[in-house]
Chain A
């Protein structure tokens, strides 16, 4: 059973096609990561799932039902650009959001979440007195009261300190444990790798990746050599069969061209320098992201 089924949707704004014939299925109870560069169509897709925007064509089904135009209490949506009524007190604001979404035991839920995220002592303070991290926690709580079946989080960790980010991450995992489906967009590939069961990447409005991290990585094969050598990146130029060298500082990643033999690369390197570490690995999500969204060879500005 899928929580979200998107069938061939397209959304345009004037001359810009933000989402282009996109299809996607999000299994119930999973954490689905949306990645993609800025302006690729992530937020537009999320807004369409949340019924804030409507596709020009195509179909969106939530839990098997086409629900365009209906605000369902089952959906919690935390937008990327979020704000709260600054003059309201925390408890009043959360109860307002909860009641607006049709919650029944809103006061009880508000108390529970304030306690859980360490905001109980600020419940009667005005929102404008909260720090940014606290405000984001309040926004998160406003999204999950009443408890949704589908939680859509657009960049929930942006701007958060590690402690606050861990609180939200813990809350997301708890929601999933209770059966909630979570769609989360992020620019942090580490978060996507560690938090998400499946990852979907959109680029220029089109789907370019969709599946589990393992399946995505295996589709790229073990085409990467991670090395640590004396002399660093300066001794890695002009290696036969290597398309690209990525210098990470202490470690370098070499992307092999199709048909390249890593043993041959190892022999060439041994002839040049002393090798500290050499391993053939699958590309990281970050690397895959950059390969797709980074400047293409024809787009790169030639160096004089």
Chain B
């Protein structure tokens, strides 16, 4: 054990002292999560006036629709933790409908293309009293945005409907202003299930589902695990191949066994990963505290997060060290890189279905497949509602059993790989190394 720790200490210090590690530590969160932080900052510069042309073919709806839209915008600018006072200021301009509808829309579209207009809102004649069997929506808006993410779609349809309802009420002789709240929309919220506290037996009310807590927190937690595991383990592949090429191992082999050498390297990778995890977790908690959102921090999941980091890095680093030892050159090691990250990459493809149905069959089955357990189980645990208490523990047993198997396999390859010479073996030959006495 003393020798394992000595090797681990040397490798750990070399790893965290390298420029690649320090630069990666800073760059990774910016690359993977920075967009979310940059978005609000970037939007602060967008608070210019944007012009919306309203074509009202009903002849009576424009004022009410514009009023409702402006009220909606004022509420959005100040509401909630994500209220954005720096958002664009929308200026509505009523445009008289032309006889040649198509030519008018083309002319206005050209203005949008030139940046003179932001959006064209077209209220058709049927907007006020739509027919029952509508083949076309009676209100359309035209923009130049990509359409993948449409922020206008989040508020404009509701505002338009609000305005149209006011006109309909007025036509029925009802002054909406004299019937307070007649047009108020009530909040309809999604709640977590009610549960029973196993310790006290008391009924615990379900909490309101927070879209950030439900989506962003699990996503970032799993993304962090994924990044840490890959960037903690993958460098071993090239580093070991490099050490082998520089003939470092044989001198060490007189002093330490190949297993001790390998475990020292794995332990160093775990140490480096835990260091970066700690930096990121502390940074994340401080950031949440700074935004007065500390309540969103998944503190109860952090121990699980660190356990999964250890399990994933032990598994991947063992495999990385073993495959690196088999390579003749660091360049050859690249061919194994995909194989190395595959076990942790596969569950990333099922994030969405798992988040939508954390206790669905797919999610449950995948969370019990040991190579996928850390990512999928952590995701299921992080999504509000959680998982039955025994499932993470059972998953953990499988994960550590899997890690032990991978250590055994890696040690079998490593003992032969570090002294092997000649060209890099194929996978079939590596399998023979594992089974050879």
Contacts and interface: CB of A to CB of B under 8 A. Distances in A.
Interface of A: 47, 50-53, 69, 71, 75-79, 81-88, 96-97, 99-101, 139, 142-143, 152
23 contacts: A50-B254, A52-B250, A52-B254, A69-B257, A71-B257, A75-B254, A77-B254, A78-B251, A79-B254, A81-B247, A81-B250, A82-B247, A83-B243, A83-B251, A84-B246, A88-B10, A96-B10, A97-B251, A97-B255, A99-B6, A100-B256, A139-B251, A152-B254
Contact of B255 (A53, A69, A100): A100
B339 interface: no
Contacts of B257: 69, 71
B13 to A, nearest CB: 9
B248 interface: yes
Contacts of A152: 254
Contacts of B27: none
Contacts of A85: 10, 14, 243, 248
Interface in B241-264: 243, 246-248, 250-257
A88 B14 CA distance: 8
A106 B174 CA distance: 96
A100 B248 CA distance: 14
B48 interface: no
B314 interface: no
A82 B251 contact: yes
Contacts of B248: 83-85
A75 B255 CA distance: 8
B91 interface: no
A278 B246 CA distance: 51
A82 B249 CA distance: 8
B3 A100 contact: yes
4 tightest A-B CB contacts, nearest first: A83-B247, A77-B254, A79-B250, A83-B246
B287 interface: no
Contacts of A87: 14
A142 B6 CA distance: 15
B7 interface: yes
B299 interface: no
Interface of B: 3, 6-7, 10, 14, 243, 246-248, 250-257, 419
Nearest to B249: A83
A82 B248 CA distance: 6
Nearest to A100: B255
Nearest to A53: B419
A66 B6 CA distance: 26
A72 B9 CA distance: 21
* Most chain B beta-carbon neighbours within 10 Å: one of A51, A76, A83, A96: A83
Contacts of A47: 250
A69 B251 CA distance: 16
B283 to A, nearest CB: 28
A204 B252 CA distance: 28
B246 A86 contact: yes
Nearest to B242: A86
Contacts of A139: 251
Given A52-B254, A85-B243, 7 more contacts: A52-B250, A52-B253, A96-B10, A99-B6, A101-B254, A101-B255, A142-B251
A71 B247 contact: no
Nearest to A51: B254
A140 B243 CA distance: 19
A100 B256 CA distance: 7
Contacts of B255: 71, 97, 100-101
A82 B252 contact: no
A52 B254 CA distance: 6
Contacts of A86: 246
B16 to A, nearest CB: 13
Nearest to A50: B254
Q: Could you say which of B7, B247, B251, B257 has the most chain A C-beta atoms within 10 Å of its C-beta?
A: B251
Residue from B246, B248, B250, B255 having most chain A Cβ neighbours under 10 A: B255
A77 B14 CA distance: 25
A143 to B, nearest CB: 8
B6 A82 contact: no
A47 B253 CA distance: 10
B7 A100 contact: yes
A185 to B, nearest CB: 14
A297 to B, nearest CB: 33
Contact of B250 (A76, A82, A88, A100): A82
A47 B249 CA distance: 13
Contacts of A52: 250, 253-254, 419
Contacts of B14: 85, 87-88
Contacts of B3: 71, 100
Instruction: Tell which of B3, B14, B253, B256 has the most Cβ of chain A within 10 Å.
Output: B253
Nearest to B260: A71
Contacts of A75: 254
Nearest to A69: B257
A76 B253 CA distance: 11
Nearest to A76: B254
B328 to A, nearest CB: 13
Contacts of B6: 96, 99-100
A100 B254 CA distance: 10
Contacts of B243: 83, 85
Contacts of A77: 251, 254
Nearest to A154: B250
**Residue among B10, B253, B254, B256 with most chain A CB within 10 A:** B254
B31 to A, nearest CB: 26
A71 B251 contact: no
Contacts of B247: 79, 81-83
Contacts of B250: 47, 52, 79, 81-82
A69 B243 CA distance: 23
A111 to B, nearest CB: 20
Given A69-B257, A71-B257, A85-B14, A100 B246 contact: no
Nearest to A81: B247
A130 to B, nearest CB: 14
A39 to B, nearest CB: 12
Given A81-B247, A83-B246, A85-B248, A71 B254 contact: yes
B207 to A, nearest CB: 52
